Chain A
Amino acid sequence: MNRLANGLSAFSLLGRTALLASVFGTSLLAATSVSAQEIRVWSGYPEMAAFYEHVAEGMKDEYPDLKVSVEAIALREHEKRVALGITSGESAEVIELATTIAARYLEGGLLNTPPADVQDFVKDPANYTEFFANAASYDGTVFGVPLFRGQSALYYNTDMFAAAGLAEPPKTMADFDAYAEKLAQRDASGVPTVSGWSMRLSGGGSGIAEKFAINMWQHGDELLKPAGDGKWVSNFASDAGVATLKQYLHNLFETKVVTVEMPADADAFERGQTAMFIRESWVIGDIAAKAPDLKYATATLPRGSIVSTGQLYVKASGDKETAAWAFIKATQEPENLVWLLDNVGWLPNRTGDYSSVVATKPGFDAYVNLPAEYAFFTVPAIGPIDEIQTRSAAFLVEAYAKPELAGDDAAIKAFLETIDTEINSILEREGLLGQ
């Protein structure tokens, strides 16, 4: 964990490695020759399309015959097409994948091993910290090139905070409850019209469990606990798990500062329908595009944040493979990564000088200037992690519709034990269950 924290702090070492990084980026790019080719890029984030197109545009002088077709769709659909595309041999040449998802494909030897110069580039500590190099590796071999990461921070509406007499962001999880109560706005009948704290309560997929994990981390623990020898144990019914679910239910059914049907997340924040919520850095770019007049600020979370990394991998052969790696190298050019942070908002993983963006967009401050004791966690890169999160999300949605659980610690614990039983059975099936 410390290594990760140290690694991320390198992000704020502005300018120290910028010169070196630029030299590496340029020399790598120049080292490859690409003939007339068309390659496809698959991304699971629609907002990343502009970045990849920007990179392709920048390559035109050097590679006038290279055509890059970017296909960026919603993450869940992206994951499905990758599963189908890779196994049927019909995938794109450049594929963006999170470490947790890539693990399955790397286990099966389904993605290309990069050429030596790319491997050296990724392993070079001047370019990436050990954490990011490891995230792009499998069994000690580099397979991908780290691109961006998801890291969470609190977004809060400064106008609403001022109106509620709140001068600074919440510092503890207890503060979150008290603040949410003050910030919630209600109609004449007491029904909340603006949520005090937007929590992920509905929808499909693993996001619900991931958001629960972020809050649980603030309470001191993780969803899965390492049990040695690469084994894991489900940890929902821990004290931190109970405290987390209790907090959700308290806000839902006791103080009623949020309801499951209220508009949620970044969309709601941008429309002034929620006072605060926790999200990754892409929201800064999203707000700039959709709600430029919104008065808001960001803050670090009480204990620390999740970090989930995205890498670029190649599934191609011959000239297309060469072109794909050339494109990936181009994404790592410092000017492109600054463009990524400035225009899309995802945090680049390569060490570099991003001060110009942070200076103009103070929202990034909570992502790069971190308290010394700020702790990070990441979800385990094990094959069934997505299934585990999706299954636990189904349970959590059920809990969020049970007002009878609110305030009843014993009932909450019993409910969380049913999740542990389910998750442990998945771990056992996969030979990953520890003691």
Chain B
Amino acid sequence: MRIRKRWLFSLLAILPVLAIFTYVRIIPIGEILRLSLHKWDILSRNKPFIGFANFIELTRDRLFHEALINTAIIAFGVLIITVPLGIALAALIHHRVKSRFSSFYETSVFIPHVVSLVPAAMAWKWIFDARLGPLNAFLSMFGVQPQAWLFDPVLSIICIIVLCSWQALGYAVLIYLVGFKTLPESLYEAARLDGATGLQSFWFLSVPMLKPISLYVSVVTLVSAFNVYAQVYVLASDAQGAPGRQVRVMVLDMLENSFRNYRVGYAASEAVVLLLIVLILTYVQFSLLRDRRTK
């Protein structure tokens, strides 16, 4: 009887959260799945069921392929930069935790994450500017020819990776710092007594023990990088053609199909593909990084 009451109480306690989660997450996902199977023109009254026709069209859509490839390159680029750099920076900051500058270090790394995206991207647009940007001015001191950072098909993607990593890094460092603070000091002292250097302690103690944190950081970083849009939009948007090449990413393609081409059903099929990719990658990350002892 008592257990039943507990169950009932737990259920009632969790019910509001479940209801909100269902309303804001589960139902929209279900709706996207439904839309993806329809020729759902935002302005048309007739929205017929067309089965997998949208998905078949995706296989032939070169702009979608371009968006998919660009997004994947950006997402993995951001992941490859953010996770190792995040853990390394967090280790350095943690190592200097007793310094009176420690909070300064933490704040300066975290600031890019809280700065509004649009002004930040505008500032980066100026940095990357081919003619007036400080990056080219700096490189010219070493005899490097000015580069068209925002126009070259490869460089423009690198610029977006740099911008996204700069923003994601603060969050990664913060989470890693929390992780570092939970690690037992005694292990490090024992390692020191055994003659381990700082680098060895980091590599053989910190990195393995922070695996769950690395899993969380990598999942969050990858998922948010797959949803890249605003950075791309700001770096290339202008009323008069310049100042940059429009790097096509998945969210941009979806927005164009939804609100410029009015093909919401087709955009929904792109969203389903994006969802599947993110789910698969998250599963892979969990499989690779999950702490076996928790099984």
Contact = CB atoms under 8 A, between A and B. Distances in A.
A79 to B, nearest CB: 6
Given A87-B42, A108-B43, A264 B261 contact: no
Given A266-B240, A394-B248, A397-B246, A84 B259 contact: yes
A105 interface: yes
Secondary structure dominating the interface of B: loop
Contact of B256 (A74, A86, A110, A390): A390
Contacts of B236: 202-204
Interface in B109-161: 130-131, 148, 150-153
A261 B241 contact: no
Contact of A200 (B45, B153, B241): B241
Contacts of B242: 202-203, 261-265, 268
A201 interface: yes
A203 B244 contact: yes
A261 B130 contact: yes
Given A203-B244, A260-B151, A261-B131, A104 B262 contact: yes
B260 interface: yes
Interface in A80-128: 80, 83-84, 86-87, 104-105, 107-108, 110
Interface in B236-264: 236-246, 248, 255-256, 258-263
Contacts of B260: 76, 79-80, 83, 386-387, 390
B44 interface: yes
Contacts of A79: 259-260
A401 interface: yes
Chain A contact residues (Cβ within 8 angstroms of B): what range? Answer: 35 or more
A303 to B, nearest CB: 23
A335 interface: no
A293 B43 CA distance: 47
Contact of A83 (B42, B63, B237): B42
A422 interface: yes
Given A108-B43, A263-B242, A394-B63, A80 B255 contact: yes
Name the residue in B62, B63, B241 with the highest tally of chain A Cβ atoms < 10 Å from its Cβ.
B241
A205 B261 CA distance: 12
A401 B43 contact: no
* Interface majority SS (helix, strand, loop, mixed), chain A: helix
Contacts of A394: 63, 66, 246, 248
Interface in A194-213: 200-205, 207-208
Nearest to A394: B63
Nearest to B260: A386
Contacts of B150: 261
A150 interface: no
A108 B259 contact: no
Interface in B154-186: none
A322 B68 CA distance: 48
Contacts of A383: 262
B151 A108 contact: no
A207 B241 contact: yes
B221 to A, nearest CB: 26
Contacts of B43: 83, 86-87, 104-105, 107-108, 110
A391 interface: yes
Interface in A170-229: 200-205, 207-208
B259 A208 contact: no
Given A386-B261, A394-B248, A422-B62, A204 B237 contact: yes
A265 B246 contact: no
A146 interface: no
Given A203-B240, A267-B240, A394-B63, A261 B259 contact: no
Contacts of A80: 255, 259-260
A169 interface: no
A211 B108 CA distance: 45
A83 B256 CA distance: 11
A397 B245 contact: yes
Interface in A298-320: none
B241 A203 contact: yes
Contacts of B66: 394
Given A83-B262, A394-B248, A108 B44 contact: yes
A352 interface: no
A260 to B, nearest CB: 5
A74 B259 contact: no
Contacts of A264: 240-242
Contacts of B42: 83, 87
A104 B237 CA distance: 25
17 contacts: A75-B239, A80-B255, A80-B260, A83-B258, A84-B259, A104-B43, A203-B242, A204-B246, A207-B241, A261-B242, A262-B131, A263-B131, A264-B242, A387-B263, A394-B63, A397-B246, A425-B60
7 interchain residue pairs of minimum CB distance: A265-B240, A204-B246, A387-B261, A261-B130, A80-B259, A261-B148, A203-B241
Interface of A: 74-76, 79-80, 83-84, 86-87, 104-105, 107-108, 110, 200-205, 207-208, 259-268, 383-384, 386-387, 390-391, 394, 397, 401, 422, 425, 429
Given A203-B238, A261-B243, 12 more contacts: A74-B239, A203-B237, A203-B244, A203-B246, A204-B237, A260-B148, A261-B151, A383-B262, A386-B260, A387-B261, A394-B248, A429-B57
